[in-house]
Amino acid sequence: MAEFEKLALMVSDSAKAQEVAQEFQSLTDWVSPEDADTVVVVGGDGFMLQTLHAMLDHGNVKPVYGVNLGTVGFLMNRYRGADKVLQRLEKARGLAVAPLCMEATTQEGQVHTFCAINEVSLLRETRQTAKIEVTVDTKVRIKELVCDGVLVSTPAGSTAYNLSADGPILPLDSQLLALTPISAFRPRRWRGAILPDRSQIRFRVLESDKRPVSVVADQKEVRDIAEVSLAIARERELKLLFDPGHTLDERIVAEQFVV
């Protein structure tokens, strides 16, 4: 297929991935990621996220096929030997994933913009609980959320930190976001919300001098924030490739039946 004529190879520096790196190197004449039409990523979920973020940062987004040689491999395909990867790639199915765009303003007025594929989380920096005002689409929904933190998750990230914080699992085609508190003290009975992914979400940190808060967009952190605004960035959509019958949406469904 023409789509896969120019392939780039990205291999994690983990010992497990490096053990089989030579097997992948000998499969074809690989090109640089900049010249490729598709990228094969060998490693784990962390390395996959790192690769996807590098694409977003450089505006060089390509379809990505992941081969799991990490721990969980939620965003990856199962490793079944390097020799069949090219044939599997020809049969792979694409899945579009839209990241969250975060604009965070610090107490000093500095503005930071990052994308998150999994989630954006606000976390208290000290022993003091955080106090956060929560606004959705210009309407203040919670005037004072007293908590260890709060996060907004995409469907792709709903089985990661969001699930650990007792947030809901979202089907990939649901067009929803999960707004999940982390150890909420007040409102004590609030367990979070499921929102349309067209929602504009804003967090404002209260009593920031006494109760400083940081924000993390996947792997990128900004400390001492005053305000965070979030929205889905459809214009920066990513494409992940999966083997038939082993897609991310099937894994998200399956995760709900793990006991």
Domains for the chain: give ranges and CATH numbers: 2-98+237-255 (3.40.50.10330), 100-233 (2.60.200.30)
Task: Specify the pLDDT at position 70.
Answer: 84
77 has binding-site annotation:
no
Q: pLDDT by residue (tens digit) across 1-59?
A: 445 679 999 999 999 999 998 899 999 999 999 999 999 999 998 999 999 999 998 88
pLDDT single digits (tens) 147-194: 999 999 999 899 889 999 999 999 888 899 999 999 999 998 899 999
Which residues on adjacent β-strands are paired with residue 115? 101
27: amino acid identity, one letter: L
What would the mean pLDDT of 89-102 be, rounded to a whole number? 92
Distance from C-alpha of 196 to C-alpha of 29, rounded to nearest angstrom: 44
- Please tell me whether 163 is known to bind a ligand: yes
State yes or no: 156 annotated in a binding site.
yes
**Selected catalytic residue, list 35, 45, 218, 224:** 45
- 57 labelled binding-site residue: no
> How many residues does the structure list for the chain?
259
Query: Which pLDDT tens digit goes with each residue over 197-234?
Result: 999 999 999 999 999 999 999 989 999 999 999 999 99
pLDDT in tens, 235-254: 999 999 999 876 677 777 77
pLDDT at 55: 92
Is position 90 annotated in a ligand binding site? no
pLDDT of residue 251: 72
Q: 45 an active-site residue?
A: yes
How confident is the model over 103-128, as pLDDT tens digits? 999 999 999 999 999 999 999 999 99
Tell me the per-residue pLDDT of 55-83, one tens digit each, with 9 for 90 and over.
998 888 999 999 999 887 788 999 988 88
